[in-house]
Amino acid sequence: MSSPRETFLRLVNGVCDGPYEDLADLYGEQTHVTHPFHPLSPPPLHSRSELHAHFTAAPPVGRTLNRKPVDVRIHETADPEVIVAEFAYQGVVAETGEAFTVPCVFVMRIRNGLIIESRDYIDHVASARAWGQLDRLLTALRPQTSSTVEGTAQP
């Protein structure tokens, strides 16, 4: 059985190196994973199968990120199942040579070597920029306008 520290390190290194198909195996069958700072407020992931779909979804097209976790600091808490991990994904966009850094803080509950709860605080703007998806994110954040409201034309 892996310690919380070992499980976390397997996760962040696996996100960089793969195999992505195996990452969901680091989670309990039932889990609760949220991304509280994600600007689009996606729903939590509640199961290993949802996490498998999350990790194996096709990445944004057109870019390959060569990355690794850096500045890793793992803080143990009074609860032996809970750790707080500070780190950044740092790397280079293979197609452009552009360097990037994506700061992160994960608050995780790991029981019997499996992640059963995680709050992943990620700089999603930096991530979108690295993936070449910043314009797409900004478009998704813009309010949708309508030419009419309750049948009345708007200027």
Mean pLDDT of 130-145: 89
pLDDT of 27 higher than 90? yes
Residue type, 59: P
Q: What angle do CA 105, 16, 47 make, to 5 degrees?
A: 65
The span from the CA of 32 to the CA of 109, in Å, is 10
Tens of pLDDT, residue by residue over 47-101, are 999 999 999 988 777 789 999 999 999 999 999 999 999 999 999 999 999 999 9
3-state secondary structure of 95: coil
Q: Which of 28-32, 134-138, 140-144 has the highest mean pLDDT?
A: 28-32
- Cβ burial of 65 (10 Å; 0-12, 13-18, 19+) is buried
From 13, 23, 4, 27, select the one nearest 75 (Cα to Cα): 4
In this prediction, residue 155 carries a pLDDT of: 46
The span from the CA of 73 to the CA of 8, in Å, is 11
Return the CATH class of domain 4-135. Answer: alpha beta
Domain extents in the chain: 4-135
In this prediction, residue 146 carries a pLDDT of: 60
What residues form DSSP beta bridges with 66? Answer: 92
Tens of pLDDT, residue by residue over 98-117, are 999 999 999 999 999 999 99
